[in-house]
C-alpha cells in the first residue's frame, strides 16, 4: 500500500510542476494518465517522453477527438 501511495504522490507532484510551468491540466486519471492541453507537439518538460522505465507515452489528439477512459 505504501508503494501505491508513493507513486500517487510522485504522479501528482509531476503534474503540479507542469501546471506551475504554465501548462493546462485537463484531467488526472488513473496512476498512468494525465491529460494536458498544450500547443501542438509540446509536452510538459516535467515528463520524460518515451517507452522506457520512468518515461511516459505522449499522445497528441486533434481538436474534437475524444479520449475514452482507460484508452492507452
> So what's the pLDDT on residue 55?
79
Residue 48 CB partners (closer than 8 Å, separation 6+): 54, 55, 56
pLDDT band of 7, cuts 50, 70, 90: confident
Q: When comparing pLDDT for 1 and 72, which is higher?
A: 1
pTM of the model: 0.66
Question: What is the average pLDDT across 5-25?
Answer: 86
Q: Which tens digits make up the pLDDT trace of 24-67? A: 888 887 766 787 877 766 778 888 888 888 777 777 777 777 77
Q: Is residue 72 predicted with pLDDT exceeding 60?
A: no
Q: Give the separation between CA 57 and CA 12, rounded to whole angstroms.
A: 17
Do 57 and 72 form a contact (C-beta atoms < 8 A)?
A: yes
Amino acid at each position: 500500500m505504501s508503494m501505491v501511495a508513493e507513486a500517487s504522490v510522485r504522479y501528482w507532484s509531476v503534474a503540479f510542476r507542469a501546471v506551475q510551468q504554465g501548462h493546462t491540466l485537463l484531467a488526472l486519471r488513473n496512476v498512468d494518465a494525465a491529460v494536458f492541453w498544450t500547443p501542438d507537439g509540446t509536452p510538459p518538460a516535467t515528463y520524460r517522453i518515451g517507452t522506457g522505465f520512468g518515461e511516459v507515452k505522449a499522445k497528441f489528439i486533434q481538436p474534437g477527438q475524444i479520449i475514452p477512459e482507460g484508452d492507452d
